[in-house]
């Protein structure tokens, strides 16, 4: 699939947002811990991706009811669903001047169409050293999910099954989609939100 940038201005993919609040002291402390000036953009992207994938827990995986949204909140609490985790990865990389956007898939919520669908969030990162956008999915690995860092090919958490009405959205958004943010802001129980209230379409 060919990715399509919402904006041709890479600077827009570096903007600080309410949900991507990288100047917050919590984010800056983690930036100081994860990165150093000798790292390449590829090395920084790998470090940030693996940190968010492995160290920020997916709320559903740990069966937590806590809802988090803004990057600093997600980092402070150490958990969030994919919408929240994508905010953290964007914040860490944008703070280092690495353009980072938001991408989406429409997936079956569980294992059959009858159990419904949901919008899933991941990130696209522009690596200047190889002049390339690459999608990364930091939702967190578990049995049956093995997302990895690769600059050669996508190794995402989920492979879209178009015959089952799943979909890859090609657009790299500058900001988190409003439907994802409004979902997080409207709910206080992450498990109920995940099971019953995730958007099915962008």
**What span, in angstroms and rounded, lies between the C-alpha atoms of 13 and 139?**
20
**What span, in angstroms and rounded, lies between the C-alpha atoms of 58 and 29?**
22
- The DSSP code for 142 is B
Per-residue model confidence (pLDDT) at position 183: 98
**What span, in angstroms and rounded, lies between the C-alpha atoms of 70 and 36?**
24
Per-residue model confidence (pLDDT) at position 182: 98
Half-sphere exposure of 197 (CA within 13 A, CB side): 17
**What span, in angstroms and rounded, lies between the C-alpha atoms of 91 and 112?**
34
Helix axis angle, 25-34 to 41-55, nearest 10°: 120
Model-wide pTM > 0.95 = yes
Per-residue model confidence (pLDDT) at position 119: 98
Domains and CATH numbers, the chain: 4-196 (3.10.620.30)
Sign of CA dihedral 55, 202, 106, 12: negative
* Cβ–Cβ < 8 Å for 193, 145: no
Per-residue model confidence (pLDDT) at position 91: 98
Low-confidence ranges of the chain (pLDDT < 70): none
Per-residue model confidence (pLDDT) at position 1: 87
β-strands 79-80, 100-108: how paired? unpaired
């Amino acid at each position: 699939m060919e990715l399509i940038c919402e904006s041709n201005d890479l600077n827009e993919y570096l903007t600080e947002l309410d949900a991507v609040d990288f100047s917050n002291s919590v984010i800056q402390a983690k930036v100081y811990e994860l990165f150093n000036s000798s790292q390449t953009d590829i090395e920084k992207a790998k470090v940030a991706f693996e940190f968010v994938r492995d160290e920020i827990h997916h709320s559903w995986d740990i069966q937590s009811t806590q809802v988090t949204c803004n990057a600093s909140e997600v980092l402070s609490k150490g958990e969030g669903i994919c919408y929240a985790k994508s905010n953290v990865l964007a914040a860490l990389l944008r703070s280092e001047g690495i353009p980072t956007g938001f991408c989406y898939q429409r997936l079956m919520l569980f294992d059959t169409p009858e159990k419904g669908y949901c919008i899933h969030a991941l990130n696209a990162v522009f690596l200047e050293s190889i002049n390339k956008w690459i999608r990364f999915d930091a939702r967190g690995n578990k049995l049956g999910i093995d997302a990895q860092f690769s600059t050669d090919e996508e190794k995402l958490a989920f492979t879209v099954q178009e015959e089952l009405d799943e979909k890859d959205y090609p657009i790299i958004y500058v900001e988190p989609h409003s439907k994802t943010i409004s979902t997080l802001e409207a709910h206080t129980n992450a498990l109920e939100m995940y099971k019953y209230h995730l958007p099915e379409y962008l």
